[in-house]
């Protein structure tokens, strides 16, 4: 029995402490943005042709913001939604009087403050967090291809 206790405290307990079972869950659906968007530098023009900045599109401005998604029950119960992302992009397009977004990028990272390895993360209601950094360029259609 003493060997089992030694084994548990020397091997199993540290393994439990560093196994990181927390997390979060979130989905990003940009269906509520009323403008064309692309993760590439191109959009489609009115005749279906590819247009880009300097060749049918004019750069109106850029945006960058961070959204944090939270979850409990080891990430299986999301506590956040994507409404803030949709609203921010839509408001930036309106503010800059743009027609669309190009170079849309998402960078997803775990939040080290809530997701560091610790024995407390086996508690199902311990929140996990994921940070999503969103960036893009708002463009205006000029119609003039160079």
Domains along the sequence of the chain with CATH: 2-141 (3.30.110.70)
Tokens of 123: 């508690």
Residue 20 has a pLDDT of 54
Residue 29 has a pLDDT of 83
68 exposure class (CB count in 10 Å sphere: 0-12, 13-18, 19+): middle
Question: Closest by alpha carbon to 136, among 82, 110, 97, 100?
Answer: 100
Question: What is the mean pLDDT for each group of 10 consecutive residues in the chain (146 residues)?
Answer: 67 59 69 90 88 91 90 68 88 94 90 55 69 94 71
Q: What are phi and psi of 122, to 5 degrees?
A: -80, -10
CA geometry: angle 102, 83, 131, nearest 5 deg: 75
Q: Indicate yes or no: pTM above 0.85.
A: no
């Amino acid at each position: 029995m003493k060997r089992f206790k030694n084994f548990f405290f020397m091997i199993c307990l540290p393994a439990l402490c560093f196994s990181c079972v927390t997390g979060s869950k979130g989905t990003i659906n940009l269906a509520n943005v009323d403008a064309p968007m692309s993760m590439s530098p191109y959009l489609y023009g009115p005749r279906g042709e590819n247009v880009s900045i300097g060749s049918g599109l004019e750069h109106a401005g850029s945006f960058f913001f961070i959204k944090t998604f939270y979850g409990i029950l080891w990430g299986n119960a999301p506590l956040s939604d994507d409404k803030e992302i949709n609203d921010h992009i839509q408001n930036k397009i309106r503010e800059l009087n743009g027609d669309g977004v190009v170079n849309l990028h998402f960078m997803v990272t775990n939040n080290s403050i809530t997701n560091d390895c610790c024995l407390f993360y086996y508690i199902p209601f311990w929140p996990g967090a994921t940070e999503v950094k969103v960036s893009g360029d708002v463009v205006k259609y000029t119609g003039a291809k160079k």
